[in-house]
Amino acid sequence: MGFASWAASEFATNDAGRADRAALLAEFEKFPAEAPHAILVIEVDGEPAGWGAREHGDHVISDLWIAPQFRGIGLGGNLLTALEAEIAAMGLPDAELETLATNYKAIRFYERHGFRVVWRGEKFSSPLGYAIDKVRMNKSLSL
């Protein structure tokens, strides 16, 4: 599901074949197998529709993927809210995430949910095998 979401993205479409798609698929398959405790799945009628993760169990939301056929119906917001609730329940004051700097839809989505860009720069992506322009976003969870 995560790989399908990535493959359907504008970024993947404009990747010009730089990413090793087989290696990237293997990364998407390996992560849930190695860290099932870090993943929160959202379903529609019993079918997995998306997943989010806090890979290190801290305040950083490392993944948020909605299957292409389930986009636009509010699942991403519901999943994001649930991940934020997990972070807040740990007593952590803020949530943080990163996304591709040119993924304007994702940036607007996160901004609508209270996140603000706090950093922009180039960062090496191990799964992709090259550096990409990213933004880091932060949201205060304090009441």
Percentage of the residues of the chain whose pLDDT score is greater than 70:
88
In three-state secondary structure terms, 40 is strand
The distance in angstroms from the start CA to the end CA of the chain is: 34
Q: Domain 2-140: what homologous superfamily?
A: Gcn5-related N-acetyltransferase (GNAT) (3.40.630.30)
Q: Which two tokens stand for residue 135?
A: 């933004």
Tens of pLDDT, residue by residue over 2-21, are: 667 766 666 666 665 677 77
* Residue 62 DSSP one-character state: -
59 and 95 Cβ atoms separated by less than 8 Å:
yes
Q: Which residues face 103 on adjacent strands?
A: none
Tens of pLDDT, residue by residue over 41-87, are: 999 999 999 999 999 999 999 999 999 999 999 999 999 999 999 99
State CA 73 to chain mean position distance.
17
* 142 has pLDDT over 60: yes
- pLDDT value of residue 5: 72
Please tell me the pTM assigned to this model. 0.87
